[in-house]
Amino acid sequence: MKEENFYMLAKTMYGLEEILADELRTLGAQNVKIQNRAVSFKGDTGFMYKANLNLRTCLRILKPIATFQAHNEKELLEKITKIDWSKFLDVNMTFSTSATTNSEVFTHSKYASLLVKDGIADFFRNKYDKRPNVDPKNADLTVDLHIAKHTCTLSLDSSGYSLHKRGYKSNTVVAPMNEVLAAGLILLSGWNQVSDFHDPMCGSGTILIEAALIANNIPVNIFREKFGFDSWKDYDEELFELIRDSSLNKEKEYKGKITGGDNFQKAVRMTRENIENALMFENIKVKNEDFFETKISPNTFVLFNPPYGERIELGMNEFYEKVGNSLKNNYQDCDVWLISSDIENLKMIGLKPNKKIKVMNGKLECSFRKFEVYQGSKKASKNKY
Ligand SMILES: C[S@@+](CC[C@H](N)C(=O)[O-])C[C@H]1O[C@@H](n2cnc3c(N)ncnc32)[C@H](O)[C@@H]1O
C-alpha cells in the first residue's frame, strides 16, 4: 500500500525562506508554503530522507505528530502523557526534548521542554513501570514542542543535530560562516554555476565548498554520519540507500574554476583540510594571498565575507575604503557580492550597490550587496552571468 504524504516543517534562517521553498519544489515537495523562518510542505518518508540529504538552506526538518490546545501546565502535561509514545520509542532507547514558545501562559521554553520530558517519562512509567533515558547530546529520538498561544504542536526532529553540520569541516578559523547561510547566499546571488567563482577572504573555506557542491549538484549532507530519522523505530535503511544512490546519480559536470585566497596561512591550511574532507581537492584551489595585492580575471563571480574587525590593523572604515579601491582596480568586469554586518562602514566602499538583501548571520543583521565592477558601458557588461 502506498504511504500517505504527511506535513513537515523545514526550518531556516531569516531571508532564506524563498530559496528553501524553491529547493523543496525542485526536489518534488507538495503543498510548499512559506512561513516565518520556515517552509511547510508535504511528502512521504522517502521524501523526508531525500530532503535531509539534499536541502542546502534547511537547518532541520520536523515531522508533526500531534496538535492540541492547552491552557495551563497541568493540561499540557496531561495531553503529552496521553500520546502513545510507544509508537516512536522503546524503553531501551534514549530521547531528548526541545521547545519554542510564543505564548503569554507558557513563557519559558526550557520549562516547556521539561514538561515534554516528564510527559513522555510518565507515559512509560504508567504503562511499563520503566522509562527511557534522556540523552541531551546523542538521543535516538528528539521531540520538539512548539507553542503558539494555546496551540501546541509536538514534532519528531528528523534531522537530529542541525543540518548545517555537513560533516566536511574538521577545522575552522575565527568567525566561520554557517554552512546554511553560505549556501543560501550563493543561491540568493543567482550565480549561474558556469562561470569561475572566487572567495578572496575564504577563512575556513565554507563558501568555496558550498559553491563546489552546488555547481556539481552533490547532495550537501552526503558526508554526515547521522540523521535523526536513522535511529527511529520505522527507519527503512534500504529505502534510504536507494534515495542516497539516486541523489548521487544527479551529479553534474562543472567546467569552471573555483578559487580562494586568504592572507592568513593557517586559514589556507584549514581550508585545504576541509576541501579534502569534502573530496573537492581537484575542484577548488586556494592560495595564501592578500586581497589588496591580487588581480582577478575578468568575468569571475566573486562572493565573500570580510572580517568583523578581528586581526585588522586599519580602522573599519579605512578597511572598507581600501576594499572598494581594490575592487575598482583589480576586479574589473566581475560581479562581486559581499556580506557584512558593518552597514555604516560598507558605504566607504565607494561603489553603488546594484542589489541589497537583508539577511541574518546568527543574531547579527547583515547586508548582502552586489557590486557590478566593470569598465566601459553598463550595456556591454550586462547579461554576463
Ligand atoms: C569572516 S572571515 C571569513 C570566514 C569564511 N567565510 C569561513 O566560512 O570560514 C574573514 C577572513 O578574511 C581574511 N582576511 C582579512 N584580511 C584579508 C586580506 N587583506 N586578504 C585576504 N584575506 C583577508 C581573514 O584572515 C579571515 O580568514
**Do 302 and 271 belong to one domain?**
yes
Quote the ligand 1 centre to 251 CA distance (angstroms). 30
Q: What is the CATH number of the domain that holds 323?
A: 3.40.50.150
Which residue's C-alpha comes closest to atom 13 of ligand 1?
A: 201
Tell me the per-residue pLDDT of 232-283, one tens digit each, with 9 for 90 and over. 999 999 999 999 999 999 999 999 999 999 999 999 999 999 999 999 999 9
For a mutational test of ligand 1's pocket, the pick from 262, 272, 326, i.e. the residue with the most ligand atoms closer than 8 A to its C-beta, is 262
**Do 31 and 139 belong to one domain?**
yes
**Do 126 and 185 belong to one domain?**
no
Burial code (b: 16+ CB inside 10 Å, e: under 16) for 165-176 equals: bbebbebbbeeb
pLDDT for the residue 175: 78
Residue for grid cell 591580487: 294
Atom of ligand 1 nearest to the CA of 264: 25
pLDDT for the residue 379: 42
Residue at 163 is within a domain:
no
Quote the ligand 1 centre to 84 CA distance (angstroms). 51
Residue at 233 is within a domain:
yes
| Rounded (10°) CA dihedral 348, 349, 354, 356 | -60
pLDDT for the residue 171: 75
pLDDT for the residue 2: 64
Joined together, the cell numbers standing for residue 248 give 548521487
Separation between Cα atoms, residue 282 and residue 356, nearest integer Å: 33
Residue at 280 is within a domain:
yes
Per-residue pLDDT, averaged over 135-157, amounts to 96
Tell me the per-residue pLDDT of 74-127, one tens digit each, with 9 for 90 and over. 999 999 999 999 999 999 999 999 999 998 888 999 999 999 999 999 999 999
pLDDT of 1 above 60: no
Residue at 168 is within a domain:
no
**Do 141 and 186 belong to one domain?**
no
Residue at 272 is within a domain:
yes
pLDDT for the residue 156: 98
Count of the separate structural domains present in the chain = 2
Structure-model confidence comparison of residues 66 and 380, the more confident one? 66
Residue at 170 is within a domain:
no
Q: What is the CATH number of the domain that holds 132?
A: 3.30.2130.30
**Do 62 and 141 belong to one domain?**
yes
Per-residue pLDDT, averaged over 36-63, amounts to 98
**Do 136 and 252 belong to one domain?**
no
pLDDT of 377 above 60: no
Question: What angle, 0 to 180 degrees and rounded to 10, lies between the N-to-C axes of helices 17-27 and 179-189?
Answer: 80
pLDDT of 133 above 60: yes
Which residue's C-alpha comes closest to atom 10 of ligand 1?
A: 307
pLDDT for the residue 385: 47
Separation between Cα atoms, residue 348 and residue 353, nearest integer Å: 12
Joined together, the cell numbers standing for residue 116 give 515534554
**Do 148 and 209 belong to one domain?**
no
Residue for grid cell 512548539: 146
Which amino acid makes up residue 168?
Y
**% of the chain exceeding 70 in pLDDT:** 95
**Do 204 and 131 belong to one domain?**
no
Atom of ligand 1 nearest to the CA of 290: 20
Burial code (b: 16+ CB inside 10 Å, e: under 16) for 322-346 equals: ebbebbeebbbbbbbbbbbbbeebb
Quote the ligand 1 centre to 202 CA distance (angstroms). 5
Sign, CA torsion 314/318/320/324 = negative
Quote the ligand 1 centre to 310 CA distance (angstroms). 10
pLDDT for the residue 325: 95
Q: Which residues lie across from 237 on neighbouring strands?
A: none
pLDDT for the residue 314: 61
**Do 70 and 204 belong to one domain?**
no
Which residue's C-alpha comes closest to atom 14 of ligand 1?
A: 201
Per-residue pLDDT, averaged over 13-17, amounts to 97
For a mutational test of ligand 1's pocket, the pick from 174, 201, 273, 361, i.e. the residue with the most ligand atoms closer than 8 A to its C-beta, is 201
Separation between Cα atoms, residue 232 and residue 284, nearest integer Å: 37
Tell me the per-residue pLDDT of 322-358, one tens digit each, with 9 for 90 and over. 999 999 999 999 999 999 998 888 999 999 999 999 9
Atom of ligand 1 nearest to the CA of 204: 9
Quote the ligand 1 centre to 61 CA distance (angstroms). 31
pLDDT for the residue 312: 55
Question: What angle, 0 to 180 degrees and rounded to 10, lies between the N-to-C axes of helices 109-128 and 73-82?
Answer: 40
**Do 82 and 153 belong to one domain?**
yes
Provide CB contacts within 8 A for 262, sequence distance 6+: 200, 201, 202, 203, 268, 271, 286, 288, 289
Residue at 141 is within a domain:
yes
Which protein residues touch ligand 1 with a CB less than 6 Å away?
A: 173, 175-177, 200-204, 206-207, 261-264, 267, 290-292, 305-307
Q: Which residues lie across from 262 on neighbouring strands?
A: 288
Atom of ligand 1 nearest to the CA of 308: 1
For a mutational test of ligand 1's pocket, the pick from 185, 263, 314, i.e. the residue with the most ligand atoms closer than 8 A to its C-beta, is 263
pLDDT for the residue 3: 74
Quote the ligand 1 centre to 198 CA distance (angstroms). 13
Per-residue pLDDT, averaged over 364-369, amounts to 94
pLDDT of 28 above 50: yes
Quote the ligand 1 centre to 380 CA distance (angstroms). 32
C-alpha 298: how far from chain center: 30
Which amino acid makes up residue 349?
I
Quote the ligand 1 centre to 29 CA distance (angstroms). 37
pLDDT of 38 above 80: yes
**% of the chain exceeding 90 in pLDDT:** 87
Quote the ligand 1 centre to 287 CA distance (angstroms). 12
Burial code (b: 16+ CB inside 10 Å, e: under 16) for 64-86 equals: bbeeeebeeeeebbebbbebebe
Cβ neighbours around 204 below 10 Å, total: 26
**Do 249 and 349 belong to one domain?**
yes
Tell me the per-residue pLDDT of 179-215, one tens digit each, with 9 for 90 and over. 999 999 999 999 999 999 999 999 999 999 999 999 9
Grade residue 164 by pLDDT with cuts at 50, 70 and 90.
Answer: very high
pLDDT of 384 above 70: no
Contact criterion met (CB below 8 Å) for 78 and 118: no
Separation between Cα atoms, residue 193 and residue 58, nearest integer Å: 20
State which residues form the domain around 234.
179-217+229-381
Residue at 130 is within a domain:
yes
**Do 94 and 195 belong to one domain?**
no
